Amino acid sequence: MMIIAAALNYLIASQHIILGFYALPTLFSAYFYGRRHAVLTAFASVLIVLLLTQLNSGLFVSSPMAGIADAWWYELFAWGGTLIVTAFAMGTLYERQKSRLKELHHTYRGLLLILRQFVAKDKYTENHCYRVSVYASKIAARMGLPVERIEDVKAASLIHDIGKLDTSRELLYKAARLTAEEFDEIKKHTDKGVAILEPVGGPLHRIIPIILAHHEKYDGSGYHALDHDSIPLEARIIALADAYDSITSDRPYRKAVPPFEAKNIIAKSSGTDFDPDVVDAFLFAFSRGEMEVPDLIL
């Protein structure tokens, strides 16, 4: 950017207008890198202009002060000082904004942990949400999702069962086979979870479609009969992570399945229950030992 501005000094007669181009690198530095980088960029711009002025003595021939001997440097001093002050101010604003965003992120994470405590009616449920968040975030990372979407996966995983707050404990942990009516009641927990989160804005509102669809199946036979094109990728990832953790955990109605056997069950369900791409990422992560999570509440 500074090279382009410097080159334009030789091509355009109104050099004072061109000086405005030197503010652009400073503004970009302030926006992306902060105060220190912006101030250094401003100093570099000033040095480049001074160098160009020495190399081209007629650079400011159009200046109103051109008739005053050696007066041109007053203008450069004023311009350079303004640029450096602007860099400092813009960089400070950037760093303050970054600090606020960091505080909001910590608050958001704390809120998720509080919500997880409410969701957990026992040790299994709380550990289940934690493990699903670990599995899902590792699968998402293997699929190359950007950091923001991985954070959404992790957040949605931590509270994906929030709708079960309005479901009786006896029904959730019934050892016998559920009746059709009882299963229909269990299926409502995704809609109940959405109803709980709908009044909330920001990132929590962004993960509502993920929570709503985390029990959908790739072939369209899930809770709301959505097909694979209508299911958010994050929800497809959580669906697999949720299933894997359920299969490998003791439940009131059955014993846990060993991880390698569970892996084979997941692999056989590729294209039906689960997205084949998600299954491939899971299998790769499994082969690297990334699906081993200690049974700890963090």
Tokens at residue 68, please?
A: 């005053």
Nearest to 239 by CA among 202, 278, 268: 278
Q: Mind listing the domains of the chain with CATH numbers?
A: 2-98 (no CATH), 122-287 (1.10.3210.10)
- Determine the length of the chain: 298
CB 53 within 8 A of CB 76: yes
Please return the burial class of 116, using the count of CB atoms within 10 Å of its CB with bins 0-12, 13-18 and 19+: buried
CA 58 from chain centre, in angstroms, equals 52
Q: What is the pTM of this model?
A: 0.64
**pLDDT tens across 37-80, in order?**
778 887 887 787 777 766 765 555 444 444 444 555 666 677 77
What pLDDT is stored for residue 295 in this prediction? 54
**pLDDT tens across 125-156, in order?**
567 888 999 999 999 999 999 998 998 898 88
What pLDDT is stored for residue 287 in this prediction? 92
What is the rounded distance in angstroms from the CA atom of residue 206 to the CA atom of residue 208? 6
Q: What is the DSSP string of 99-146?
A: HHHHHHHHHHHHHHHHHHHHH-SSHHHHHHHHHHHHHHHHHHHHTT--
Please, what is the Cα angle at 142 between 136 and 144, to 5 degrees? 105
